[in-house]
Copies of this chain bind each other. A is one copy, B any other.
């Protein structure tokens, strides 16, 4: 009887685990709520109109079509019965011999869930399209706005969190405002937009070497963005944020806050911890042993953003390369066990870190090398492209990149999925109504107050 390996999550960890078990004598089931693998490191490009969702997403069934030992199941794992080694998906139970949990993380508002509406995060395709809609709509609203104070608020963009996502978002929004939208408006000059990056620690990219942080900050400033370090966000509303430093609090009028600050364990992570009584860290990540298994459950692996494992005294960061290596490692442990062999503990090989800031500017640390500027950007482009899963995605992204680079264009800057528009269209509402315009405005902007 072949062993059954169940993998939850088709992100980097889950997909690499599945592919590494290609030739193993096991049956595999890969469960994901979505039907695609998402290349999350480029999600900020979707949020800022540079790429389309399908450019960075590949259908899981397509990727695994020819791997005969794997079955893909679109669904949500809702319950774990670790004692009987079974998992509830939809209406049925699935038995497993090995379970790989790679459900990742979601964004987190540090107990302020009420900020979610005014300050969307960036984890899913839908998040990215929401951000895109918010950013682009603010320029549209500013063009229609006559009050200069309100117009200023509409043209102020606050990015919370100075990690790679926050830095890349700030750079891309600055590019959009200063270059891409040039000549697009008649009443406003988009180049006057203010882009404010707020970071709680003393430097951006705090997980990178300090000199790269300094380079990133300089690149952002060159693009016209303002960086506030040692600064906390105290309050987020539809028309302003309150930021605090040692010397006091400041109210920043803004109608567009992008959240890139905190992550917490995915929902299934909580279920898993509760079901087996696993210990979690402050972000909900689950402490795993050296073989990425749960204490007392050698058959359950946790990989990727959901796993808490330390190396040289530091927890490994929630990055794609860590997830890929962990997924492949879990697969290796399973292959070895089936042959009665043991496996040395997981060791992350750090090939480097990078972040891109606007057009042809990036920072990178590759082994002993620390790059900035154009060279880092080319390295970044190259590494991201070879990691994009499907061939066609790569060519398409490369093409759009080349085009965007030459023209400073962002061709995917279309505002879609405006809920009100959709409703009106499908519901066939009566044609004439006095308050139509006002409602259309306030709802489509999802912004009250001065916006």
CB contact between A106 and one of B36, B72, B395, B425 (< 8 Å): that residue:
B425
CB contact between A274 and one of B117, B126, B432 (< 8 Å): that residue:
B432
Judged by a CB distance under 8 angstroms, whether A263 is at the interface is no
Q: Are A438 and B35 in contact (CB under 8 A)?
A: no
Q: Are B437 and A62 in contact (CB under 8 A)?
A: no
Report the Cα distance A73→B36, complex, angstroms. 36
* A106 CB to nearest chain B CB (Å): 6
A425-442 to B contact mask, C-beta < 8 Å, 1/0: 111100111001110110
Q: Are A58 and B415 in contact (CB under 8 A)?
A: no
CB contact between A184 and one of B55, B65, B391 (< 8 Å): that residue:
B65
> Which of A159-167, A198-206, A396-404 touches B?
A396-404
CB contact under 8 A between A90 and B411, given known A33-B421, A431-B270, A431-B274:
no
A169-188 to B contact mask, C-beta < 8 Å, 1/0: 00000000000011111100
> Which of A75-83, A318-326, A339-347 touches B?
A75-83
Q: Are A113 and B425 in contact (CB under 8 A)?
A: no
Judged by a CB distance under 8 angstroms, whether A66 is at the interface is yes
Report the Cα distance A185→B79, complex, angstroms. 25
Report the Cα distance A11→B97, complex, angstroms. 57
Q: Which residues of B contact A143 (CB under 8 A)?
A: 73-74
Q: Are A126 and B400 in contact (CB under 8 A)?
A: no
Report the Cα distance A35→B62, complex, angstroms. 33
Q: Which residues of B contact A438 (CB under 8 A)?
A: 90-91
Report the Cα distance A403→B390, complex, angstroms. 11
Judged by a CB distance under 8 angstroms, whether A267 is at the interface is yes
Oligomeric state, in copies? 2
Q: Are A59 and B437 in contact (CB under 8 A)?
A: no
Q: Which residues of B contact A353 (CB under 8 A)?
A: none
CB contact between A437 and one of B66, B90, B136, B422 (< 8 Å): that residue:
B90
Report the Cα distance A421→B75, complex, angstroms. 11
Judged by a CB distance under 8 angstroms, whether A125 is at the interface is yes
Judged by a CB distance under 8 angstroms, whether A375 is at the interface is no
Q: Which residues of B contact A395 (CB under 8 A)?
A: 399, 403
Report the Cα distance A392→B425, complex, angstroms. 30
Q: Are B126 and A416 in contact (CB under 8 A)?
A: yes
Judged by a CB distance under 8 angstroms, whether A71 is at the interface is yes
* A88 CB to nearest chain B CB (Å): 7
Report the Cα distance A125→B424, complex, angstroms. 14
Q: Are B267 and A440 in contact (CB under 8 A)?
A: no
* A288 CB to nearest chain B CB (Å): 20
Report the Cα distance A417→B126, complex, angstroms. 6
* A52 CB to nearest chain B CB (Å): 4
CB contact under 8 A between A437 and B78, given known A184-B61, A184-B65, A393-B411:
yes
Report the Cα distance A417→B416, complex, angstroms. 11
Report the Cα distance A113→B424, complex, angstroms. 13
Q: Which residues of B contact A267 (CB under 8 A)?
A: 424, 431
Residue with the highest number of chain B CB atoms closer than 10 Å, among A117, A123, A181: A181
Report the Cα distance A390→B36, complex, angstroms. 28
* A284 CB to nearest chain B CB (Å): 11
Judged by a CB distance under 8 angstroms, whether A151 is at the interface is no
A sample of 28 cross-chain residue pairs with beta-carbon separation below 8 angstroms, ordered by A number, consists of A34-B415, A35-B140, A52-B54, A57-B414, A59-B414, A62-B184, A62-B411, A65-B184, A66-B183, A73-B144, A74-B143, A75-B437, A78-B436, A90-B144, A90-B440, A91-B441, A116-B426, A125-B414, A125-B416, A125-B417, A126-B417, A129-B417, A270-B431, A271-B432, A274-B432, A392-B411, A396-B411, A399-B399
Other contacts beyond A78-B436, A126-B417: 16, CB < 8 A = A35-B136, A35-B140, A35-B414, A53-B414, A53-B416, A57-B414, A59-B413, A59-B414, A66-B183, A74-B143, A75-B437, A75-B441, A76-B437, A129-B416, A271-B431, A396-B396
Chain A residues close to B by CB (< 8 Å): 33-36, 52-55, 57-59, 61-62, 65-66, 71-76, 78-79, 88-91, 106, 113, 116-117, 123-127, 129, 136, 140, 143-144, 181-186, 267, 270-271, 274, 390-393, 395-396, 399-400, 403, 407, 409, 411-417, 421-422, 424-428, 431-433, 436-438, 440-441
